[in-house]
Structure 1
């Protein structure tokens, strides 16, 4: 039996409290529009559908919605390929619908944070149509072009993140353009001052319509140097972010979250340090990458390693203990369902979903809920490649099959890590298609919608939804949850994740069993005795004994009476 040990911790009042902002106590909720709620029966979610479900988010206690792209787009990458930044895709609605969403959400105390996708545009954007037609037009400079190599081939052998070469030839101008993702997503040339001015004006236009801020897609790519083959966190990244802040964000009480697949604890505060005038927080993925094969990537997942996961998770708690702020998440539109990936989506699904929520929502930072997470939605477990819709998954399937990988092997990885698992329709009820649509959904509904859905969950007073609501309210009302310092406990324990939060002389302790077996740990005397439970998964406890016993995937968060 392992003792609970603690790492050395600083004095509880060592860190200065940040100037409180509205989002310090708020919880974000990501809406993936095409899969959230369909109002017109065409099988695709839309803005009126989101408006019709705002009551659900209000009941949950959400402070702001991160809205994945609803801009005009050919939808090659489900809206992350934008053809007009100032218009709405017809399948999602109209600008009037968008204005109504902003206003209706505001009436409920919910802000709208829009996805800002400015590393690249769609190849069907008017800028790129002009750029590919002539070298002489101003828009040609809005993109990254290079002449062919001596043999007529691409400038180098860089590969795109979605598979295939990163360069595509355009005969009309006799040059190759660079695309980090797919040929349908040409990268914008941030070195071009006129392009940056266009982007900043567009951002001001949206903020003036009343949105609450931006989530900035792959923002760490905008400072790239393609000739040096430096793509992530390139030499001009922070110069551009500081210029963006100065030109657009300064003086506005809005929220900015950057997404970066390369940011580390060495570079994190360059994005969100208090004196940097760049971003408010960053989505970083070190804890996510711990579940990927180091060489073969996400489609060759490795067994979950709790110790490595904790090391990554708490490194960012340490980094932001006195400066910056952290974006807390386990799932989003690019990741598998968290209860399927980190825990158990079978017999222990409900308790495991609550435990994952307890861990995330009681850390320091701003937590994000991905749609369906609040009812414990699971991966879909598709059996055939034709059930997938994700461009990344389909492209990598073709590449790996060509390299000799067996289809069954690839599908096993895809069934753990494909982006499509988070994109199956929101499960509102046991009605056909989970109440998402009256038509045929654009991607198959998870067959378990008859058991796992919002209506069924709300029928139980101790449901997953109720647990999330309790945790969200704690952040709004409890100073320790909002601003307390975090110290990891039991860092080397392979089954238990544990930590404490402290503020002044007060503290909260959290213990979570990440295994499917009963776990027993000896508690130090200071943690035994009467406790006030803040969040629990099985039954409220009145005291902690000398030995802590946790059932499979059980967790407890409490305030010791001595605190």
Structure 2
């Protein structure tokens, strides 16, 4: 016979979430049951009409975040900056860029966040500074100054004169194209910049640098912030021999990452940082390290509480799975089995020791509904909510990037002039100069470029999406007329309310936070299924990540046919997901659900 797998009556309320009463009562740190929301201030909300988002704009929109239910706000950099890399090039660590407001505005925002029971985490970039930071200006202007050694300087390669082709101290390439070494013509030496030439790398070998960083972080903690997201923090320790890296076919520069990713003193530096800064506030802080190229084995060391380094890391393995043979801007279709294999490796690798950070989106990634989902009108809402369900039910702390809770999509950039990101602009210039087809290069930027995440937040259907009364610094996605926060707040079937339900479930169901993880159907290219078990409670997470009806032949399908439904992404009442005893479960396009059963 055919039965509803959820054993629910037809008059299921639109809320589609069984009310639960209390947050999990465990001894683990508070951040394990928390959800973090990342704000890119330049694009979130503009309070003064200059086209750039600011701190007062964020303060004015905090009720949106309270309604969503998130616990922590993570602010991308708001420090003074020339904005060569949109604020990730800091010229003053203890100030606020005038484009965003003042320190008084920051204090007002922080107080408003705390008044709503949320915490605020600062984004901190200490692998490098801006070349307009006073430290670097002194280092360049006075080669005999102690500040000279606060950065990484090297003479030309032996046998070469400064400025000659091949004279750079090593063959390392920059993340933003070109060489990682920039000549200072006045002194004839080169300084290292793993990113833009306007982002010189700090010399962490110098204890004075480390002490200055520690003092600055303690200053922010005294001001009341609740932790730090530390940008590319696993790159701060370099092999001091600066050896040449391997050169891929057709590449102009070598890959220096074996000599600076998780370098020789990285654990020493992070343990010192914890000892000098974090240890005084163990109950309050959240510390997360962005770590490109980190392995599961290294992440286990970084996040082992006994080692006292950081609470969790951002790894990039799963967001590199659609990079093609030509690299990041040569995208290929994602194979779901590759995604499941990757995420399961991290779930299992940090199961006994350590902790995962969970994310699809951030300021450096394109919109997930366009990338791994289907952003067309037929499936945008379902695919956005299915992907959200899969992510939020893994073990770890979820991160929501602004607009993700609305299912915001990639933008239809028409030409290179529509882009603002230095990475995209540099890649386009280098690729076209090397003979690549300009339209093909643009296609890669449209799919993967970071500006997809940086178009203004879509608050309503008015001009400029309610982001600003002026001219926005980057174009607003034209789909804001139908895809916006105001419309979704009024619609219980919206992406926003689905995220709200997932966040509430994490706050109230201990198995979401503390349960183990077991992958099901590992070879299925369309269905993502796994269980979470904790103290007699078992959750089944099942998602059809395709646009067709699919059948899930689960090992214990009959055992779930009367399980309690916690979250689903299709409206009810209506056509329920059905199951005939002895037959597979049937899921509609992009359908997801979370079921719960309890051992008796």
Q: Which range moves more in the overlay, 260-269 or 521-530?
A: 521-530
Match of 1:553 in 2: 590
Establish whether residue 232 from structure 1 lines up as the match of residue 276 from structure 2. Answer: no
Instruction: Give every structure 1 segment of 4 or more consecutive aligned residues whose post-TM-superposition deviation is greater than 6 Å.
Output: none
Cα distance, 1:250 vs. partner? Answer: 0.6
Q: How far apart, CA to CA, are the structure 2 residues paired with 1:562 and 1:198?
A: 55
In the alignment, which residue of structure 2 is the partner of 1:482?
513
1:504 to 520, 523, 535: 535
Is the counterpart of residue 298 in structure 1 residue 312 in structure 2?
no
How many Å apart are 1:239 and its aligned residue?
0.6
Alpha-carbon distance in 2 for matches of 1:381, 1:552 = 25
Match of residue 23 from structure 1:
31
Equivalent in the alignment of 1:198: 212
Say if 1:528 and 1:544, in contact at 8 Å, map to a contact too.
no
| 1:449-491 per-position Cα deviation (integer Å, ceiling 9, x unaligned) | 0010000111112211111111101111111011111111111
Count of residues in Structure 1 that have an aligned counterpart in Structure 2: 546
Is residue 186 of structure 1 aligned with residue 214 of structure 2? no
The correspondence of residues 426-441 of structure 1 with structure 2, limited to 5 A, is 426-441=457-472
The reply on whether 1:151 has 2:160 as its aligned counterpart is yes
Distance 1:538 1:547, change over 3 A: same
1:307 to 337, 347, 355: 337
Q: Distance in 2 between matches of 1:214 and 1:559?
A: 35
Deviation at 1:151, TM superposition (A): 1.6
- Supply the distance in 2 between the matched residues of 1:251 and 1:133 (Cα, whole angstroms): 38
After TM superposition, the structure 1 stretch with the greater mean CA deviation from structure 2, 381-390 or 42-51, is 381-390
Q: 2:481 matched to 1:450?
A: yes
List runs of 5+ in structure 1 lacking aligned partners.
1-16
Correspondence list, 1:187-266, <5 A: 187-225=201-239, 227-228=242-243, 229=256, 230-252=259-281, 253-266=284-297
Q: Deviations over 1:191-219 (max 9, x none)?
A: 00001100000000001110010001000
Alignment partner of 1:266: what SS?
helix
1:531–1:542 contact (8 Å) kept in structure 2: no
Find the aligned partners of 2:54 and 2:310 in 1 and give their Cα distance. 29
CA distance in 2, matches of 1:410, 1:96: 44
1:387-406 equivalences in 2 (<5 Å)? 387-406=418-437
Aligned mates of 1:190, 1:258 — CA distance in 2: 16
The CA deviation string for residues 428-466 of structure 1, in whole angstroms up to 9 with x for no partner, is: 000100000000000000010001000011111221111
In the alignment, the residues of structure 2 paired with residue 496 and residue 386 of structure 1 have an alpha-carbon distance, to the nearest angstrom, of 40
Say which of 452, 456, 471 aligns to 1:425. 456
Deviation for aligned residue 1:172:
2.3
C-alpha distance 18-239 of structure 1, shift in aligned 2 (>3 A)? farther
Give the equivalent residue in structure 1 for 2:178: 164
Correspondence for 1:536: 568
Counterpart of 1:40 (choices 40, 44, 48) is 48
CA distance in 2, matches of 1:36, 1:25: 25
Distance 1:19 1:136 in 2: 53
- State yes or no: 1:527 paired with 2:559: yes
1:71·1:84 contact (CA, 8 Å) conserved in 2?
yes
Rounded Cα–Cα distance in structure 1 between residues aligned with 2:361 and 2:552: 29
Please state whether the residue corresponding to 1:132 is helix, strand or coil: helix
Structure 1 segment 43-192 matched on structure 2, within 5 A? 43-149=51-157, 150-152=159-161, 153-192=167-206
Decide whether aligned partners of structure 1 residues 80 and 238 sit closer, same or farther in structure 2, where only a CA change above 3 A counts. Answer: same
CA-atom RMSD, angstroms?
Answer: 1.4
1:443 is paired with a residue whose SS is coil
Q: With structure 2 as the length reference, what TM-score do the two structures score?
A: 0.89
The answer for unaligned runs of 5 or more in structure 2 is 1-24, 162-166, 244-255
What CA distance in whole angstroms lies between the structure 2 residues aligned with 1:161 and 1:350? 34
CA contact (8 A) 2:493 2:571 kept: no
Residue of structure 2 in register with 1:343 after alignment: 373
